[in-house]
Structure 1
Amino acid sequence: MLSFVVFDGDLPATTLAVRHAHLVGPDNSPVAGDIRFEDGLIRCIKPNIEAAGLSMQIALDSAVLHKLAPTRSGDEMLDEKAFREKIRAERARRAQGAQALGEAAPSPEAEVMSFDRLTALGVLTLQTCLLPERDEPYLLTLELARHRLMLFLYKLEDWQLFDLPRDHQIMQLFEQARLTFTDALVAQRHGLGDNSEGTSATFGYSADANRLALRALWLAIDASERLALLNAATEFGPRMSGQLHRQALEDQPGGSADRTARGVVATVISPNRVGVILPMRPALGCAISPGAFFDTAQDVALKCSEFVTMPMRWAEMEPTEGRYLFQNTDRWIEWAVRKAKLPVVAGPVVDLRPCSVPDWLYIWENDYETLRELVYEHVKNVVTRYRRTIARWTIVSGLHANTNFALTFDQMMDLTRICVMVVRKLHPAARIQVELTHPWGEYYTGSRRSLPPLLYADMLTQSGIMVDSFGLRVQMGQPEQGQSVRDLMEFSAMLDRCAMLEKPISLTAVGAPSATPESVGHPELADRNPGSWRKPWTEQVQADWATSVLAIALSKPFIQSVCWHELYDLPQPAEMPRGGLISVSGHPKVIVERIVELRDALENERPPRGLEDYSVLGGKPVAH
């Protein structure tokens, strides 16, 4: 049995909304299982006894921030001061014991971070380490903190930032997190001081240990997000200037930059990095729904984009079987090619999500042979019409999730093969990519007919279905499966895992809303609250999030392009309400100027404003 204790203040929680919960195995692969909250415990039912981790949504917002100290006197700051004094006393006691044994111990004078110096982190989906089954439950906050500390250390080495000085702000935050985590380990059963022991109602864990673990988690996430930004700022300039690629050429066995000058435009694999190293700097673009054609949309698209993506949703292009409506798509492509002189990326052409499938196609959902023929004809019609204007095709999207049409594994692979084959035949010069949705793979735990995203991508290569790159759809903040909010470190680590495919990666749709979706308050969607990053979603938070996420992605040497998922907040039901660059009233949002700054940063080969001083995290600028 894998189970976890959850506290609410000093007492075990009696109710808990278990949102976006799933189990993970080795290499962050999703694991099938049932997760529920009952009798004060989160219980995880697995089909085997292998070690697994729990991933679920955790609130680390301003409301939780004020629960980091016991409520005793009614004076919040007085209670916080007393709690910190207890921590200092416990550290002094441990230091004396260690000194008597001749062992190293933290100084009792080490700073204990006060909760009023912490900032809200949002409502985030986090995970534990892989844990073996046992009869006794684990303390959830302690295991979440353990995983984040481990991830920080792993990325510190992976990104070659292990030479950061101890007095660097990030390392000071990490050291605070580490010390506080140690405090939590020591206080698991006995707490801090008298009458603080755990009870049978809390399965032996003390409330002090839970508070300390929560503080350690808080500090570790803050430190890790800053580490992700520091890595992006460090890599940004060398990535844009081509220095990373030149260094990769130098690192080739038996080669040098001089000897391999003729291969300067070649994609290479460095023995010192994971993934491919691309010679050209990444491109920044935006997806445009065909119906949004007006002057402001054109102006913003031109300011923010080095290329445009035309989604080509089947439901919009062929709402009635056999009758195509190309006019809106034609209009935008003509503007992009003739007036704006921008490259056009098309697709996804075949996307079987409910928002993209025409109603008439469902007639054939249980007749694969007919469905196959219809997909073939649709791809042929679209590619034939636009092959003279399209540089790259996102030909299929999300077949691995298998959330709408029930395909077998062989049918998934066959449908992908057909779509790629048609493009290769009709447009041999085009670049082809397959889009992976839900990159964390949560859907797999509830649908064994699906495939984890990276396994699907790997199976394509093994099956001889050769694509030029893989696309990633990364949308957060929408009450849909797979769109819960992750922190910046988790986002950056996910990209690094995708690099192991050893293909160029395109972020084909990156997005977050500029306001909390109205549907979040709907009772039927209560278990799908997507969470938030740092603060509730606003235009400013959207802009800060976009600056951070886009800069992190653009700094990766294996990323070939990044595309914001929508230009305009469509008045009709949209894929992500309020997720565009332009409001429904037609006014550009704060994010527009941020993307313009990102384009300038790309041109000038320097990190964008707000990365190096961490001001994109919503606080005051901080000097290194």
Structure 2
Amino acid sequence: MGVMRFEIHPPEPSQSWSDWPLGYISGVDGRIFATRVERDGNSLICKRSQNDSGKFSVPWPVPGFGRPVITTASLLEREQPYLLPLELARGKLSDLRDQAAAWELNRMAIPDAYKSVQQEAFRHFAKASSSQANPAAASEMANHAIRLAFEATEILMGAYTIQRMTSIRKTSRHAPGLLGCLLNKQTATPAGQQIIRDCFDTAGVTFDWKSIEASEGQYDWTEVDQLVQFCSEQRKIIRGGPLVQLGENGLPDWLTPWKNDVLNLPSFVCDFVDTVIGRYAGLIRIWEVSAAGNIGGALGLSEEHRLALVARTLEAAIKKDADSQFFIRIEQPWGEYQREGRHRLSPFQFVDAIIRSCLGLTGVSLDLNIGYAPNGCYARDLLSISRLIDVWSLLGIQLHVNLACPSSMAHDDQADPRMQVNADWKGPWSPELQADWFEEVVPLLLAKPAVTGVFLQHFSDAIPHRYPHAGALTASGSSKPLLDAFRRQRGGHTMG
């Protein structure tokens, strides 16, 4: 068994740090190992089955930036414990400087402000590294280096986004990507219709199989038909799906007797996919065929069974309408769930296997649900999001990104009771902070060549939904400031 040890100083403030159980070790290739994290006072002990060198990732408190995940550089196992803040500072500065150097080689203008703050961060890191005989002092300087590194990251990422978007608007007559929102029946209100017209060019229509076919063979298309008709009247591009939700409680209850039947279960699922696509052929040309296949939970299906089911449903969809675009949705695209040891494939490997077995996949739809647990994403900075998109771009297919983050830390009566707001971002979540997050993330995503669509996860907090306080409208029906991020992106391209 491999063991990696860290120390945290001073011990007293570290007692309030509650995120340590979420840590995990990953390999140089990014694969996350099943990791068990234990704590003894100010010592952190990470255990895994492999004893190769690895990187330790953990949410870490950074003043002014919340508790984002930070990753160390690659570390060898050794008896002497590493000083955790120092190694987190080393890893963060290494990632930051590598990215700046890569962009500079591609003729990006690196701001002087970035260079100044980054150099100051490195000076504090150097002092911390040479002061390890006094762990408390070294930790204080390392934490200061981390905070400065995050400040430098914001400057660098802001410059990247501005330069990329300026280039796109000068060289292209078209918008850099679709801007969409997953709709619900609140869209039919006058206020909802105006928001859709002003902020989005694409509408996502969800097909909840459990509601559409609650009993085998008995379909209720009423709500879906109304939404599709509304989108058509508004002349919006429609993205339909997911058709098959493979997450927990995602499939109709009447399928339970067939969960171990490897022949009949795919037949039922493919029949539903065939029925939906046939019914809306010509109206919907972009489809999310399945969702959460990489995580699972529905009917207790094994990873191998889910992989085969995703491939079968994709083949059925392509066979029904070869002219449409077909995506599969991936939850937790960083793969944090792998630390629990219940999954063999990383999210990237899961999609790569689908591409190798079925040549008709148009793209992958990534869920970035920041600030939620379980089955949400840990808080990340813009550099981590940028690098994630760059990795997924290696597949050579289109990327859609579905966004959600909360506008409040309070309980949400209409949200999935299993989902909780578990982290802040630059402070406790609020409508203003939620809007700031979208203002930074939406243009960054649209600046990426592989990203062809950015979607808001749901429209209104007034009806049952999965993620607390993530809608464009509050439960009382008033609009949230986050809509300005989408409105500005549409208007900005028109003016450019």
TM-score of the pair, normalised by structure 1: 0.74
* Change in 2 beyond 3 A, CA 1:421/1:241: farther
Output aligned runs, 1:107-256, within 5 Å. 120-160=64-104, 168-189=112-133, 191=134, 206-242=135-171
Please tell me the residue identity of whatever aligns with 1:456: F
For 2:23, the equivalent position in structure 1 comes to 21
In the alignment, structure 1 residue 294 sits paired with structure 2 residue 189: yes
For 2:408, the equivalent position in structure 1 comes to 515
Choose which of 522, 546, 555 in structure 1 pairs with 2:438. Answer: 546
Contact 2:11 2:42 in 1 (8 A): no
For 1:3, the equivalent position in structure 2 comes to 5
Q: What stretches of structure 2 of length at least 5 have no aligned partner?
A: none
Cα distance between partner residues in 2 of 1:495 and 1:48? 28
For 1:604, the equivalent position in structure 2 comes to 495
Q: CA deviation at 1:16?
A: 4.7
Contact 1:477 1:530 in 2 (8 A): yes
- Secondary structure, aligned partner of 1:518: coil
- Secondary structure, aligned partner of 2:374: coil
Q: CA deviation at 1:124?
A: 1.4
For 2:317, the equivalent position in structure 1 comes to 423
Contact 2:332 2:376 in 1 (8 A): yes
Q: CA deviation at 1:387?
A: 1.5
Contact 1:442 1:482 in 2 (8 A): no
Contact 2:19 2:60 in 1 (8 A): no
Cα distance between partner residues in 2 of 1:302 and 1:285? 11
Q: CA deviation at 1:282?
A: 1.1
Choose which of 372, 375, 389 in structure 2 pairs with 1:481. Answer: 375
Contact 1:123 1:531 in 2 (8 A): yes
Q: CA deviation at 1:532?
A: 1.6
For 1:583, the equivalent position in structure 2 comes to 474
Once the two structures are overlaid, the 10-residue window that deviates more, 40-49 or 400-409, is: 400-409
* Change in 2 beyond 3 A, CA 1:358/1:240: farther
Cα distance between partner residues in 2 of 1:564 and 1:167? 31
Aligned-pair RMSD on alpha carbons?
A: 2.5
Please tell me the residue identity of whatever aligns with 1:585: S
Choose which of 324, 334, 344 in structure 1 pairs with 2:229. Answer: 334
Cα distance between partner residues in 1 of 2:382 and 2:128? 25
Q: What stretches of structure 1 of length at least 5 have no aligned partner?
A: 62-119, 192-205, 246-278, 606-624
Q: CA deviation at 1:377?
A: 1.6
Q: CA deviation at 1:465?
A: 3.9
In the alignment, structure 1 residue 384 sits paired with structure 2 residue 282: no
Contact 1:33 1:44 in 2 (8 A): yes
TM-score of the pair, normalised by structure 2: 0.92
Once the two structures are overlaid, the 10-residue window that deviates more, 461-470 or 490-499, is: 461-470
For 1:52, the equivalent position in structure 2 comes to 54
Cα distance between partner residues in 1 of 2:107 and 2:214? 58
- Secondary structure, aligned partner of 1:560: strand
For 1:31, the equivalent position in structure 2 comes to 33
Contact 2:362 2:397 in 1 (8 A): yes
Please tell me the residue identity of whatever aligns with 2:430: T
**Structure with greater Cα Rg:** 1
Q: How far does the alpha carbon of each residue in 1:254-285 deviate from its partner, in whole angstroms, 9 at most, with x for none?
A: xxxxxxxxxxxxxxxxxxxxxxxxx9731211
Cα distance between partner residues in 2 of 1:150 and 1:410? 37
Contact 1:7 1:207 in 2 (8 A): yes
Count of matched residue pairs: 491
- Secondary structure, aligned partner of 2:166: helix
- Secondary structure, aligned partner of 2:176: coil
Contact 1:569 1:584 in 2 (8 A): yes
Please tell me the residue identity of whatever aligns with 2:90: R
For 1:323, the equivalent position in structure 2 comes to 218
Identity of aligned residues (%): 22
Cα distance between partner residues in 1 of 2:459 and 2:129? 49
Cα distance between partner residues in 1 of 2:73 and 2:412? 33
Contact 1:301 1:567 in 2 (8 A): no
* Change in 2 beyond 3 A, CA 1:165/1:413: closer
Please tell me the residue identity of whatever aligns with 2:194: D
